[in-house]
Amino acid sequence: MSKRDETLIILMEECSEVIKECSKIIRFGGDTEDLAKELGDLMCMIDIATKNLDITSEEIEDAYHDKHIKLLTWSNII
């Protein structure tokens, strides 16, 4: 398996773990301790993915800013 493919697979797995923990909080309530752990794992993989997939910090910052603007327009969470 290539480094690229392994990076993408592990990134997908970490995304699914975050999804699972969000679902558990909605379904069963409780604290966010497990979610915090999974978010940390995902942040680690995002960092690794940006390096292994040649994604620049500028690309991520631009996307972050664009999403923030969309959420300000279409959501009440900010």
Share above pLDDT 90 across residues of the chain, in percent, rounded to a whole number = 99
Q: Which two tokens stand for residue 6?
A: 């392994």
- Average pLDDT of span 9-21: 99
pLDDT mean over 25-38: 97
Average pLDDT of 8-33? 98
Q: What angle do CA 71, 58, 63 make, to 5 degrees?
A: 20
> For the purposes of burial, counting CB atoms within 10 Å of the CB of 34, is it exposed (0-12), middle (13-18) or buried (19 or more)?
middle
Can you give the pLDDT at residue 4?
99
What pTM did the predictor assign? 0.91
